[in-house]
Structure 1
Amino acid sequence: MEELQRALAREFDPQTAALLGVTSFQAGQSANVIPDRAVLLGTGRCFDTAVRERFPALLERVARGIGESTGTEIRVRYEPGPPPLINDAACTETARRAAASIFGDRLRSGGVRMSGEDFAKYENPKCFLALGGGSADAEKRYPNHSPQFQIEESALASGVRFFVNYAVCYGEEL
């Protein structure tokens, strides 16, 4: 929704990573009947909990403005979901070392990603690794959450080798 994007642009410094997105819109069951209600679902993502704490008030303001301008009643229920996932530097370096000996020149840094991930709730130091498991054929390559995604099962063996090697590297560091 454009209103959310405009509000984010006004509320936050352009260098601040903040995302509010509508990911589902459910309304009505018929093409010739105006539905009496609609349910919108979405996601909020950021790397700073102080930014995240401002999302509910921003959503309320945007909803109130849209409701007033359209003569509709809009109710907002905000559920924060998992906190931002911030990789621990030491865990990341161990993972990089362990991965380099398994993946060699196929190892890539994915950069910063604003994924919603329950893994962030773990209290222990952590780092997030994405194991590529898509098709080598570009025509058959789809994102992980696509209904067309088919895992290349041979990637699973590489993932197991990585995790075993991570445990060995971590043990060496102790």
Structure 2
Amino acid sequence: MLIELGLLALIYSSGLRISELINLMIEDIITERGQVRIRNAKGNKDRYSLLSQALLQDLRQYYKKYRPQKWLFEGPKPQSQYSSSSVNRFLKAASLKAGIKRRVTPHMLRHSFATHLLEQGTDLRHIQTLLGHSSSKTTEIYTHVSNKQLNKITNPLDELLT
């Protein structure tokens, strides 16, 4: 369970694609900078994303327990990668257990990462960089306008008159 929760938390907290997650190596967790290095991401470019300090403690526990050799998340055979189908299977089981009827995918966690950053006031260009998008148009698809943000907007006339 520690592996699966770590996988999902890392997808969400770093905005990773599932392929990027399963390709992470141990040395891609850069604790001193609070970053995750994503090697050969889409477009064959390396990029860096955020590393949650809360998740870092769980990753340390995971590492002590499982002692992965090469990949951060290894499969059942020594030095084999954890599979994307295993991630999907666990997420499906977890969402059903939570009573979620809608199909939940790892990519939804990536979308949520972007949306929540935008809701916190993070600049769209920074989100674009974290997600590894070459075009801001792609990032805009990820960052759905939420009612939470719309409710915070004040009318410009009201601002002028107060």
Query: Does the alignment reach a TM-score above 0.5?
Result: no
Which structure's CA Rg is the greater one?
1
TM-score where L is the length of structure 2: 0.25
Q: Which has the higher helix share?
A: 2
Higher relative contact order (CA 8 A, sep 6+): 2
